[in-house]
Structure 1
């Protein structure tokens, strides 16, 4: 049904097909949306943004590099398995985990060095949103990650929002936090602002992306099948993150390489999205467990840009992008596809739309009033 403040009516067959297509069919494929109506939902009573760290990378001034300084670092495999178990959980408490990412930083390995998937350690950070109070969150974290040697970043008042904090009564001491202002995150990138703070011996803080200098970057992706990576998949993923193409000292120069695993299913998602809703969009990967986003970001000041090939960042970027190419072609069992939000010109368009592709093409050919295909850019439908 199409709803507005003035009318409610049945959609035509053409409208139904176009509505299905634009929900997952990629931007700029079918036209320009000038107006839409959304159905709002009540804010949660309390929402907490939290962060858990393992093997935190610290700046070593004498060596001018970032390195894991823990005497007994946690194997990345332990962290990866624990996080994957959480997002695949059917426990009722998992309904309170509204969203989560796991960031794993790539690390240097000498050419032909022995690789032990059970021992290799990378710097890892889990980010999450929790619908509930701090006490229930801490119990959940302890239950799920107590064997991993985690370090929870202290939860501050500014990490909390929701109806509980969204009103203010004079004289009673309540605080007012506009919902969303304190829950912004920079999970999608590694801020050089924070790298610079860490090099000065200061603590890095969550940093809204639009307050940092835009940085050139590249992101490629694949998705993990519903059954999870499995043993061989875990080993291959960690191997792809341990590479001679990742040079020591990159981070201190503002060149960072890492992956972000993003949950797109799990108990929470099954709880809020009905089977009927799942059929109403063209997004083809609703049955996947999570995305793998390989990311490389590099930062250049105006002075470095003038130096062109003579600046240290420039001379290392090609090696980092070679790492991206190797990762894209890495044979990791139980993975497939690619996520359209992270387009790569070398990935065939059909890969992004999978089983929805042929129907998306048919709908565009049938309904689009665009004989010269002006609504077309790299990776749009036809």
Structure 2
């Protein structure tokens, strides 16, 4: 559906004549509903709206997919209302109406964003949420090796629907199965097959998006510049992702998984130092990430453990040969190896109990309960010395629930150009680090835990990428810098923009300037158009 500028102006004049001088939440909602009735070919039921005047249903929807309890505290700003469209044209109409009425819009497809940007607005209120949870259609075409996936579907649902059709097809996206596919791919989309096939963004064929003019565009209509920008340029800067067309990849009928854990007392430091030297050079069918946390050690004391969590696209016997040649220090044995199907490997890598079946993926629920947390990220170019690792262990033993995950590169990740998509962290990277600290007692201990995270991040500075110190956009970190309301200076934006996108940041700015010059789609770390630079 396309709308002329004259039509939008006429509707705008009408709505302004019936709306408010001093807006209230009720008036905002009524004006929005009136606008939808003009712009949506399908009637919108009242059940698609949730307001604070019905606190139980409002809180249920607001909290449904939000993962970070820090942003659900009563002190955090809440939306005027939540709209849950039932169709893509209703999303289109919502964008048009928010633009006509001057309503600040936040769009949520999954809610895993670390800083709550899809359901909290810290720089601009009032605001509304368009929640895409009802848009979760998945159409798999095995003959053509592709699938159309709506934005509200979870990664786990996508994996399940592919496996329903074929035992020898998969898709290289996230390890956490409750991620919303819409936002997940906009940042890159890591997964356990990244060394073989690259990221989710490297396997996208087409997309449907609502742009700032309220048009629904596919790849041909949007052009290659915008299609480039939405595949890795971060969510909610260029439009509302409605659906992705993804390329399926071949997987063996039998794959192998394992988890081998080493504590400090079992020589974890030396083994991890060796992993850093080989992880990016291993057979590209082999993905071994390291999960580092604390646990009870001998005599009731705390220790640090390193868990080598792996997927191999092949059988156990071949895996053992690879490990014996390339990483014998881990001491992998046949009893550590589990041969299984690709879809069951998804459950294993995600940490689900062995009695959970693949059908659980259709529920779209995370494995762990929600907690308060803060996260950061780094990219490593040279092995971190053993002495520096000892400093990390000392820091970990000072925190309650610390976690870090080291994700290996190499293989396909090193063969794709840094400018192929906005995601630039490619050749020369050994591995990515995700740091997380979690707590359960709310705001009263937040400062303590965030200060711990800042100290660890500062400690790591000499051992990670430099100029810029790189960061992963899907692990949003507002401490890297934020936009101001509606605008920011180029120097401010460049600080965090180059960390996420390196030299691709300037191209993203140019695309934004062309396709959203009025900066309609904005948030604390959205790409600003040039006219807003000062």
> Normalised by the size of structure 1, how large is the TM-score?
0.63
2:432 alignment partner in structure 1: 291
1:229 alignment partner in structure 2: 383
In 2, Cα distance between equivalents of 1:282 and 1:23: 7
Match of 2:292 among 87, 104, 124: 104
Checking the alignment, whether the CA contact within 8 Å between 2:310 and 2:349 is kept in structure 1 is: no
Shift of 1:182: 4.4
Structure 1 residues 364 and 153 mapped into 2: Cα distance closer, same or farther (>3 Å)?
farther
Structure 1 residues 238 and 151 mapped into 2: Cα distance closer, same or farther (>3 Å)?
farther
RMSD: 3.8
Structure 1 residues 245 and 322 mapped into 2: Cα distance closer, same or farther (>3 Å)?
farther
Shift of 1:340: 0.8
SS in 1 for 2:503: helix
Checking the alignment, whether the CA contact within 8 Å between 1:52 and 1:153 is kept in structure 2 is: no
Task: Give the 5 Å matches for 1:244-259.
Answer: 246-247=398-399, 250=400, 256-259=401-404
Checking the alignment, whether the CA contact within 8 Å between 2:403 and 2:437 is kept in structure 1 is: yes
In 1, Cα distance between equivalents of 2:435 and 2:271: 18
Shift of 1:45: 3.0
1:146 alignment partner in structure 2: 328
Q: 1:103-152, CA deviations, whole angstroms, 9 ceiling, x for partnerless residues?
A: 222699xxxxxxxxxxxx83100111101111122233344443356688
Q: Which structure carries more relative contact order (alpha carbon 8 Å, separation 6+)? A: 1
2:21 alignment partner in structure 1: none
Checking the alignment, whether the CA contact within 8 Å between 1:52 and 1:152 is kept in structure 2 is: no
| Structure 2 alignment gaps of length 5 or more | 1-203, 208-217, 297-302, 482-495, 529-534
In 1, Cα distance between equivalents of 2:440 and 2:254: 36
* Structure 1 runs, 4 residues or longer, greater than 4 Å off: 1-4, 9-12, 148-153, 205-209
In 1, Cα distance between equivalents of 2:232 and 2:243: 18
The question of 1:352 aligning with 2:506 is answered: no
2:238 alignment partner in structure 1: 30
Structure 1 residues 32 and 46 mapped into 2: Cα distance closer, same or farther (>3 Å)?
same
| Structure 1 alignment gaps of length 5 or more | 56-67, 109-120, 162-178, 195-202, 251-255
Checking the alignment, whether the CA contact within 8 Å between 1:257 and 1:320 is kept in structure 2 is: no
Match of 1:363 among 481, 505, 511: 511
How many residues of Structure 1 are paired with residues of Structure 2 in the alignment? 284
The question of 1:16 aligning with 2:224 is answered: yes
Checking the alignment, whether the CA contact within 8 Å between 1:53 and 1:152 is kept in structure 2 is: no
Task: Give the 5 Å matches for 1:1-382.
Answer: 11=220, 15-55=223-263, 72-76=265-269, 78-89=270-281, 94-97=283-286, 99-105=287-293, 122-148=304-330, 154-156=336-338, 160-161=340-341, 179-185=342-348, 210-225=366-381, 228-229=382-383, 231=385, 234-243=386-395, 246-247=398-399, 250=400, 256-263=401-408, 265-267=409-411, 269-270=413-414, 275=416, 279-287=419-427, 288-299=429-440, 314=445, 318-330=447-459, 331-335=461-465, 336-348=469-481, 349-350=496-497, 351-368=499-516, 371=518, 373-382=519-528
